[in-house]
Amino acid sequence: MSDAGGDGDFVFDEASGEWISAEEAKARAAAAAGAVEVRDAVGNRLADGDAVSLVKDLKVKGSGGQTLKRGTVIRAIRLTGDPQEIDCRHEGIKGLVLRAEFVRKV
């Protein structure tokens, strides 16, 4: 085998199941270390696009006293980069930001 420039060291990446260069493995490890891990009220890991339900009634600030009831399902959440906040949309409420401690993954 010829190596097209580089040190020729390869490592097996268990996540992808392929052999990758040592430099790429270091880059992936650094990216994974910088990734924010968001967990819900019971410890499940949340990801972009997940659906969650509320574990308690929440009063929504700035919406004229509207309350989101316990058990309300919110679909297609987005992570914000903060380990305790998720961004979502609900009927009539744009730009809703919820704390992860008040939701449970569906």
Residues 44, 32 contacting (CB under 8 angstroms):
no
Report the alpha-carbon distance of residue 44 to residue 90 in Å, rounded: 22
pLDDT tens, 34-61?
A: 677 899 999 999 999 999 999 999 999 8
Q: What is the pLDDT of residue 33?
A: 62
* CATH top-level class of 40-105: mainly beta
Q: Is the pTM of this model over 0.95?
A: no
Domain ranges for the chain: 8-37, 40-105
Segment 76-100 mean pLDDT: 90
